[in-house]
Amino acid sequence: MSKTTASDPAPSAAENQDLGEAGAQLSTAPTEDPPNLPSLGVIGWARWFWRQLTSMRVALLLLLLLSLGAIPGSLIPQSGQDETKVADFRKNNPTLGDVYDKLGLFHVYSSVWFSAIYILLFVSLIGCIVPRTWQFVGQLRGLPPGAPKRLTRLPAHTTWRTTAEPEQVHTAALALLKKRRFRAHLTGGSVAAEKGYLRELGNLLFHVALIVMLVAFAWGQLYKSEGNKLVVEGDGFSNTLTQYDDFKSGNLFTADDLVPFSFNLKKFTGTYERTGPNKGTPRTYQAALDYSTGPYGKDRKATVKVNHPLEIGDSKVYLVSHGYAPVITVRDGKGKVIYDSAVPLLPLDANVTSSGAVKVLDGYRDPQGKKEQLGFNAFLVPTFGGAASGTMLSQFPALDSPVLALSAYHGDLGADSGIPQSVYQMDKTNMKEFKDSKGKLFKKLLRPGETMKLPNGAGSVTFGKDIKEWAGFQVVQAPGSGWALGGSIAAIGGLAASLFIQRRRVWVRAVKGADGVTVVEMAGLGRSESAKVPEELGDLAGILYDETPAAPGPDDPADSPDPDQEPGTDTSVPAEGAEKQ
């Protein structure tokens, strides 16, 4: 191995420029020159603004602003998701509600300021990607640059002497580098090679994936739809707007975008853990459906489970809730059946203690023949603990010992007032209580098959033996979800490639020395400081050193190099004042 016996002179300006050209274009990041602000002219200002908008720092700033802007959309009730919560917030916080209204915080994702950030980020990313893509394509079509004049100026380098001819060294180096998947070629009396293009490809992929995610997000928000429907066993559903209990959609969604299908709920099955610390935990929640697509589609069977939706075209039918629907039969004073239906009750706790209302709107006349409406507050306990438990709370979610508590009212339910009402609550404003013999509200606990007779021959209410179950379904159309998922995966892959793959170059030069012996110089350069470049260079140099016969050193011709010594290392002690390289 060779070593210098005196410190090298400082590199000249030409050598520094040569080294700069060798390391140039290891990245496709655009060079940001200081803005040349024009004194006059709209075009000059437009160019300056475009340069600023498409700079990486502005893109990162817009991405940060977009993330910060999404925070109020998660913390503050949104009008597109829950109008009731928004109304309650405005009622409880009138001053703050007015401020939020002016700032558009109740509809963040459709507000002007959020849309402006979104569009500017979109334009900025495109402005960053297009020139970098063309630059990267140009680099792929080109060849690695030639070696600098002085390879020993590079951070990682090594040199040794060999008896092989320079052409043999170049041929061996070219074969070795290509075998290691370098792009290599012979130019200017040296071998130039480059590797790690996937780093820049990953960088571009990451930015393209961000654009895909932005487009998918916008597409999904504009054309999405989401509706909920409660279906009792034996009943069905058709995918039309009038069939939903509640429905919300994007600004560009129309009723024609709904996927035509229908289904019937044949049976709901729910099983629970009976013993142990997880007693009452659901083990099976599934709904057996018969469904068909289109107006003349054939019936098909399907089973919908939690997190296993039924997919029909672009729609997904999710199972989201469950409860009980006791069958209630109401008769007037003459024994005529005026109401016979399964009444869905809403669960209040994990053991499916449920409450709701039974509303008899038509067909009832009191003993005097006057038209009236009947209303009953209903409270169902699937597993009653008995009077000894002292509470009307269910002890287990299954129908082990069901008990229904009813309290009776008569009068006007206000259904014809034009004011929307909940089917699970009763408006008692114009209702009167049925009184028992003690003058208190008439109420009674019923078991399946039992009947409650109303006072003064007003009729009767029967709790049927057949307690049906209901299932809550959510029908979702999210057209951009697949693209958003693909963009997310691509962004993660591109980011990983840009972080863990390093782009680097290697040069090998072999020339005849003054004594006629071939001197081999080998150097490597990476885009950033990394231990991988010296390690890889040492590995390549070791292999090339083994393939080319070593020559004795110039100071001691009888000395042969130590075969165990790595190329580029020197075990001798340099002369006083000498600099070893």
Residues 6+ apart with CB under 8 A from 302: 263, 288, 289, 291, 310
Q: Which of 317, 306, 183, 193 has the alpha carbon at shortest distance from 243?
A: 317
Per-residue model confidence as pLDDT tens digits over 371-405: 999 999 999 999 998 766 667 889 999 999 999 99
CA distances from 149 to 21, 169, 512, 533 (A): 11, 18, 15, 20
Specify whether the CB–CB gap between 456 and 208 falls below 8 A.
Answer: no
Q: How far apart are CA 100 and CA 170, in angstroms?
A: 71
Q: Which of 199-203, 418-422, 436-440, 446-450 has the highest mean pLDDT?
A: 446-450
Please state, rounded to an integer, the average pLDDT across all residues of the chain: 85
Nearest in space to 237 (alpha carbons), one of 478, 477, 479, 474: 474
Find the helix packing angle between 481-500 and 197-223, rounded to 10°. Answer: 160
DSSP, res 12: P
**Does the domain spanning 146-194+502-547 belong to CATH 3.30.310.80?**
yes
In this predicted model, what pLDDT tens digit does every residue of 320-367 receive, in sequence order? Answer: 999 999 999 999 999 999 999 999 999 999 999 999 999 999 999 988
pLDDT, tens only, 133-169: 888 888 778 888 888 888 988 989 999 999 999 999 9
pLDDT tier at 477 (50, 70, 90 boundaries)? very high
For the CA atoms of 434, 439, 442, 444, the dihedral, rounded to the nearest 10 degrees, stands at: -160
Q: Coil, helix or strand for 370?
A: coil
Residue 33: per-residue pLDDT:
56
* pLDDT value at 295 more than 90: no
CA distance linking residue 523 with residue 153, whole number of Å: 9
pTM here is: 0.68
- The pLDDT value given to residue 7: 38
Is 478 or 565 the better-scoring residue by pLDDT?
478
Q: Using the predicted structure, report yes or no on whether residue 6 has a pLDDT greater than 50.
A: no
Angle at alpha carbon of residue 6, lines to 3 and 7, rounded to 5°: 100
| Secondary structure (3-state) at 524 | strand
DSSP state of 47: H
Q: Which residue has the higher pLDDT, 438 or 6?
A: 438
Task: Report the distance separating Cα 546 and Cα 537, nearest Å.
Answer: 14
- What is the SS3 assignment for 131? helix
What single-letter amino acid sits at 445? Answer: L
Find residue 428's DSSP bridge partners: none
Q: In this predicted structure, what is the pLDDT of residue 508?
A: 95
CB-based contacts of 24: which residues, under 8 Å, 6+ apart? 145
Domain segments of the chain as ranges: 45-136, 146-194+502-547, 225-477
Give the pLDDT of residue 564: 45
Provide the 3-class DSSP secondary structure of residue 85.
Answer: helix
From 93-102, 134-143, 359-368, 441-450, the region with the lowest mean pLDDT: 134-143
Neighbouring residues of 518: CB distance < 8 A, sequence distance ≥ 6: 161, 162, 163, 164, 165, 166, 169, 510, 511, 512, 551
Q: Are 186 and 170 in contact (CB under 8 A)?
A: yes
Q: What is the pLDDT of residues 200-242, one digit of tens each?
A: 888 889 888 988 988 898 888 888 899 999 999 999 999 999 9
Q: Which residue has the tokens 């935990």?
A: 281
Q: How confident is the model at residue 421 (pLDDT cuts 50, 70, 90)?
A: confident
Is there a contact between 300 and 333 (Cβ–Cβ < 8 Å)?
no
pLDDT category of residue 557 using cuts at 50, 70 and 90: very low
| Pairing relationship of beta strands 315-331 and 156-162 according to DSSP bridges | unpaired
Residues in a beta bridge with 180: none
Q: How many CB atoms lie within 10 A of CB 354?
A: 23
Angle of the 112-141 helix axis to the 56-75 helix axis, nearest 10: 140
Q: Which of 32-46, 240-254, 296-310, 487-501 has the lowest mean pLDDT?
A: 32-46
Q: Is the dihedral of CA 165, 167, 173, 179 positive or negative?
A: negative
At 486, is the pLDDT very low, low, confident or very high (cuts 50, 70, 90)?
Answer: very high
pLDDT at 17: 59
Contact 257, 223 (CB under 8 A): yes
- What residues contact 560, with CB distance under 8 A and at least 6 apart? 550, 552
Strand partners, 246: 228
